[in-house]
Each structure stands twice: as structure tokens, then as C-alpha cells.
Amino acid sequence: MKALIFFGHGARDTRWREPFDRLAVLWRAQHPNTRVELAFLELMEPSLEEAISLQVAIGATEVVVVPVFFGQGGHLRNDFPVLLSACQDQFPEIQLSATPAVGEDEAVLQAIIEFSARTL
Amino acid sequence: MKALIFFGHGARDTRWREPFDRLAVLWRAQHPNTRVELAFLELMEPSLEEAISLQVAIGATEVVVVPVFFGQGGHLRNDFPVLLSACQDQFPEIQLSATPAVGEDEAVLQAIIEFSARTL
């Protein structure tokens, strides 16, 4: 069973996570057969490890992590692969993979362009 | 004359700015009559003040700042209004405003949902 994790940076202000909560709500409404969890690199919970553990507990055999970041800087290029690899070691029974950052997707960038154009 | 600024957090890794550069390229291709500049809160240049100064130098009378952030945490709720207000004080001759963060926009979130669904 495939499952999804939206992975964000995390922040001290709890209201920072609101768009992530909305992503989970949107996903569940549109893809009810693919379980989704949120996970955060720092300052917020659950961690990636905890979110994978939740997915495994409900029967996931394949977990795809979507980094909800615009840019791919040190966090995604350096910290994230190490973290992902450590999680794979911890859950060898599942297939763990990651997509590029959402900011790499042309349609996401185009949605930002259209949002900006509507404000002018 | 209206002008736009895409405002991001900034990062140490210069490759982090690639999606921001692509946003500027997309905007210029689709809206050639509205000048756009990038600006960053920290770690990257130009600053918001410098970007506004560039826009004013080429004749902007109204500058709209689009925060390219997912969540609205301390940076956007606390630091950004102070920065925007300081910039308005420095350029009293222009009308300066800001949109909500792009992560507040339902169509941006929907584009992330569709990107994620394509990976499954």
C-alpha cells in the first residue's frame, strides 16, 4: 500500500503549519485511498521518522515523501538525503522514496504567477 | 506604473534561489509590461529595500510585494510588516503593498496536490 508524506521545514510559530494542514485536508478529500501524513525537519512534530512509523503502522509498504520547499538548498541537498537514508535503514521492510521539491514543479510556479497576476 | 517583487527567505546555498529565478523568467514572459524583481529577507541579495529602490529608479509608482513563503510564521507576521513599513517610510512617493503568502492560495496548494498525485 502506497502512502504519502508532505515534508516541511517547520517553524516556532504554530500558525506556520496552516498551509500544510490544508494540504493534508485537500489530499484526503481528493485521494482518500492514499493515506497522507505531515512531517517536519525541525521545530515541529512529527519528525519524518515518526510520520513514516505512523504510515507503517497502518500498513504502508511504500512511502513517498514530498518536500514542500521552494528552493533546494542545504536542508534538501545535504540534511534530507541523510535523514531519508537513516529512515530507510530503520524501516527496511518498506520502499521509501522522495520527489523533487515542489518548487521545482512548473505548474506550482505557474500557480504562483497567476496568484500574483490576480493581485495587480 | 505598477511593479512586482517576489520576496523569499533566502539561504546560504545559491542554488536555493533557482525557483525564484524561474518565477521571474515566467513573469517576464507572461507579463512583460509589469517589471518584476526578486528580494530576500536574509542571506541573499538584493534586500527588499534594494529591490524597491530598483523599481523606483525605473519609474514604479506602486510596488506590490508577493511573499513566496508557504507558512506565515514569525518572519511574515513579525519581521515582514516592520520591514515593509520601514521601506514605505524610505520611499514615501510610492504606494507599497503586500499580498498574503503564496501558501495561502488554494490554487497553489492544489498545484502541489496535483504534483504529488502525479508521482504516485
Of A23, A31, A114, the CB nearest to B112: A23
Interface test with B, best of A42, A116, A118, A119 (most B CBs within 10 A): A116
Residue B88's pLDDT is what?
Answer: 97
How far is A85 from A76, CA to CA, in rounded Å? 13
- Write down the CATH number for the domain with range B2-119: 3.40.50.1400
Sheet holding A35-40, edge to edge: A35-40, A2-8, A62-67, A95-98
Summarised one tens digit per residue, pLDDT across range A55-86 is 999 999 999 999 999 988 888 999 999 999 99
Q: Do B4 and A120 touch (CB under 8 A)?
A: yes
Q: Tell whether A114 is within 8 A of chain B (Cβ).
A: yes
Q: List, for chain A, all residue ranges whose pLDDT scores fall below the cut of 50.
A: none
- Write down the CATH number for the domain with range A2-118: 3.40.50.1400
How far is B116 from B49, CA to CA, in rounded Å? 36
| Mean predicted lDDT score pLDDT of chain B | 96
Q: Tell whether B103 is within 8 A of chain A (Cβ).
A: yes
CA distances from residue A88 to A56, A83, A96, A105 in whole angstroms, order as listed: 12, 9, 6, 25
Q: Which residues pair with A65 in a beta bridge?
A: A5, A98
Q: Tell whether A29 is within 8 A of chain B (Cβ).
A: no
Q: Tell whether A16 is within 8 A of chain B (Cβ).
A: yes
In this prediction, what percent of chain A has a pLDDT beyond 70? 100
Summarised one tens digit per residue, pLDDT across range B34-88 is 999 999 999 999 999 999 999 999 999 999 999 999 988 888 999 999 999 999 9
- The ipTM value here is 0.97
Residue A120's pLDDT is what?
Answer: 84
- Apex A21 CA angle, A8 and A31, nearest 5: 100
Q: Is the dihedral of CA B102, B104, B106, B110 positive or negative?
A: positive
Contact A99, A67 (CB under 8 A): yes
pLDDT band for B120, please (50, 70, 90 cuts): confident
Residue A99's pLDDT is what?
Answer: 96
Averaged pLDDT, B79-98: 97
Averaged pLDDT, B95-120: 96
Contact residues on chain A for B74, CB-CB shorter than 8 A: 11-13, 16
Taking CA–CA distances from B2, the nearest residue in chain A reads A120
pLDDT band for B119, please (50, 70, 90 cuts): confident
Tell me the domain boundaries of chain B.
Answer: 2-119
Q: Do A66 and B117 touch (CB under 8 A)?
A: no
Say whether B39 sits in a helix, a strand or coil: strand
Q: Would you tell me which residues 31-70 of chain B have a C-beta closer than 8 angstroms to some C-beta of chain A? A: 31, 34, 64, 66, 68, 70
In this prediction, what percent of chain B has a pLDDT beyond 70? 100
Averaged pLDDT, B77-106: 96
The burial of B26, by beta-carbon neighbours within 10 Å (0-12 exposed, 13-18 middle, 19 or more buried), is given as middle
